[in-house]
Amino acid sequence: MDTVDVAIVGSGASGSVLAAKLSQAGKTVVILEGGPERKAGDLYSSQIWARRIKWFGPRTDTGGADPISVNFGSGWGTGGASLHHYAVWLRRHADDFDMKSRFGQGLDWPISYEDLRPHYDQVQKEVGISGDASAEVWRPEGDPYPMPALRIFRQAALIKQGFSKQGLRTSPLPLAINSVEYHGRPACLYDGWCDAGCAILALANPLAVYLPQARKAGAEIRHRSYVTRVLASERGGQVTGVEYYDSAGQRRIQPARVVIVAAYSFQTPRILLNSATSRQRSGLANSSGLVGKYMMTHSSANIFGFFRDETENYRGTVGGQLLSQEEYTKDPRRGYVNSTQWLIGNALKPNDLLGIAGSRPDLFGNELHRFMQTAAKHLATMTFVGENLPDITNELVLDRDKHDRFGFPLARATHKYSQADIACYEAGIKQGQAIFKAAGAHDVWASNRVRMHAMGGVIMGNDRKTSVTNSYGQTHDIPNLFVAGPSLFPTSAAVNPCFTIHAVTLRAAKHLVENWSSFS
């Protein structure tokens, strides 16, 4: 097999950006995607069929006091997890990047908001975000959004009254979903099928923007190509390519000058750990011993309530309609330093994990029917997102007793919340219920606590003893081995990760292109 300039493991948010930018710069690029090919027409509008695009790869056992969610948030096939993401694209705030220095808690990023700002600006222009920057009083400095905000429906308007009565501000939720036609893609239809994948590509999943660009520039996406290891030179100072198994189960080697592992927060560390050699027994790029450490998630919950008015909860987008970040700024005087935000007015479907029936899992029988009839018309909801602090004991390790069908150990993740995470979450749901009551909801309750998003596992930093990669995702140990995606995040912040994944990845892509000769 011919040597390519770049082999990218994974076709999700970060892999697609890298493939586009590197192939446009003239590099030969192959993406190895473990799952099947997905096209827009495959994205059936059904919460049952939507499960096809969630994780079907090798199992990750998940445990600990508060197990991280694996399958629901992961992706299988073209576009990876971001094929079914909800496109809530928010910037991290300045104090999300240096919380260790400022507050003595968490970790510092190796970059500041100012380092990332131009990349946020460029990505939002390329992808398209709908929102109202002036209404987002909490928003860090940045270019205004290229599209006006999406429409607001009755559900969000009703909940907003509660925020106002509590003296809390809201703004339109910035979404990477078109409110008007943008770059040849259509405007949102407000049908609430985001979780099943947006088939009209109004939502900026990888099928909409960067994978078409990558293909046009010559990048190859090789589906059903399950990467098991990154291969290193005999002395371990360079990587030489990747080992994978094709759809027929045949072992293949793809030689590459640069390898980028962008396989989400569970498979990325697993592949590096499985790539151990006689010289690097603990895994590739793992001289720090931190590959698999600092696994993170967001603590989340939904507030639910009934309104006398009909809420039109079937209209809109799953991510929500309005935003409130009134308690985003980190303030240890609250008793915890964690940031929080509210995503207000999420579109609902009757079934599935986040559906109407799931809001009251205690109900069954005719009581559940009665609930469904009322809730379909009168239920409203909003989502709490709470930052979780990085903890080195939250980790992903190899389970030497369990293997995939090619004989490679499976992963096992353990996770627990810190006391600060719990205090933050409890304050959040208390506040959320008060807001709903102020809005006039006549029944109010909070859902179970949900683990939302997966981050960490291969964190970046300036010190090779306390991190695995530098700020570009280049591993400290091996100059032509890179990592991309949320695995790099040293802290979770409280914003949804996808916009930052894109911005960090764009920065890395530029660095690779500009310094190519030093890596390859």
Partner 1 sequence: MSSVTSPAIFLSKEADLDPKRLQIEYNLCCPNQTVTPMKLDDESGEDLVTRRDVVTTISTGIMATTVAGSGSLLEAAGSEPEAKHPKALSVEECRMLDALGDTLLPGAAAAGMSRYVNYQLGRETSLLFLNYMDYPGSAIDFYKQGLKALDRQSRVRFNRPFTELNAHEKAELIRNLSQTMPADWEGPPSTLFYFVTRGDAVDVYYGTPEGFARLDVPYMAMVHPPANW
Q: Which of residues 77-106 bind partner 1 (CB under 8 A)?
A: 77
How far is CA 401 from each of CA 83, 142, 306, 398, 414, rounded to the nearest angstrom? 32, 49, 49, 9, 16
Residue 458: which of 436, 485, 439, 433 has the closest Cα?
A: 485
Closest approach of partner 1 to the CB of residue 429, in Å: 5
Structure tokens at 468: 């695995």
> Judged by CB under 8 A, which stretch of 44-52, 90-98, 117-125, 473-481 contacts partner 1?
44-52
Measured from the CB atom, the residue of 244 and 328 that comes closer to partner 1 is 244
Which parts of 181-220 interact with partner 1 (CB under 8 A)? 181, 184-186, 189, 191-193, 198-201
Q: Which is nearer to partner 1, 254 or 297 (CB)?
A: 297
Q: How far is the CB of 256 from partner 1 (least distance, A)?
A: 22
Note whether 364 binds partner 1 by CB under 8 A. yes
- Could you tell me if 412 and 61 are in contact, meaning their C-beta atoms sit under 8 angstroms apart? yes
Pure H helices in 448-497: none
75 belongs to the binding site for partner 1 (CB under 8 A): no
Using the rule CB under 8 A, is 51 a contact of partner 1?
yes
- Residues 42, 394 contacting (CB under 8 angstroms): no
* Residue of 11, 14, 47, 78 interacting with partner 1 (CB under 8 A): 47
Determine the length of the chain. 520
CB of 314 to partner 1, least distance (A): 5
Q: In the bound complex, what is the minimum distance in angstroms from residue 107's beta carbon to partner 1?
A: 25
317 binds partner 1 (CB under 8 A): no
Of 314 and 516, nearer to partner 1 (C-beta) is: 314
Q: How many residues bind partner 1 (CB under 8 A)?
A: 85
Interface with partner 1 (CB under 8 A), residue from 449, 453, 502, 507:
449
> Which is nearer to partner 1, 100 or 223 (by Cβ)?
223
Q: Is the dihedral of CA 488, 460, 286, 243 positive or negative?
A: positive
- Torsions phi, psi for 356 (to 5 deg): -60, -45
Q: Taking a C-beta distance cutoff of 8 angstroms, is the pair 208, 43 a contact?
A: no
Task: Check residue 61 for interaction with partner 1 (CB under 8 A).
Answer: yes
Determine, following the binding rule CB under 8 A, whether residue 403 of this chain makes contact with partner 1: no
Nearer to partner 1, 175 or 239 (CB): 175
> Interface residues for partner 1 in 246-305 (CB under 8 A)?
247, 249, 301
CB 226, CB 36: distance < 8 Å: no
Find the binder of partner 1 among 324, 447, 467, 471 (CB under 8 A).
447
Residue of 371, 489, 499, 519 interacting with partner 1 (CB under 8 A): 371
441 contributes a contact to partner 1 by CB under 8 A: no
For the record, the structure tokens of 215 come out as 């293909």
H or E segment to which residue 301 belongs: strand 293-306
Scan residues 340-359 and list those touching partner 1 (CB under 8 A).
349-353, 355, 357-358
**CB neighbours of 390 closer than 8 A, spacing ≥ 6?**
106, 107, 294, 296, 456, 459, 490, 491, 492
In 3D space, the residue among 303, 309, 308, 386 whose CA is nearest the CA of residue 346 turns out to be 303
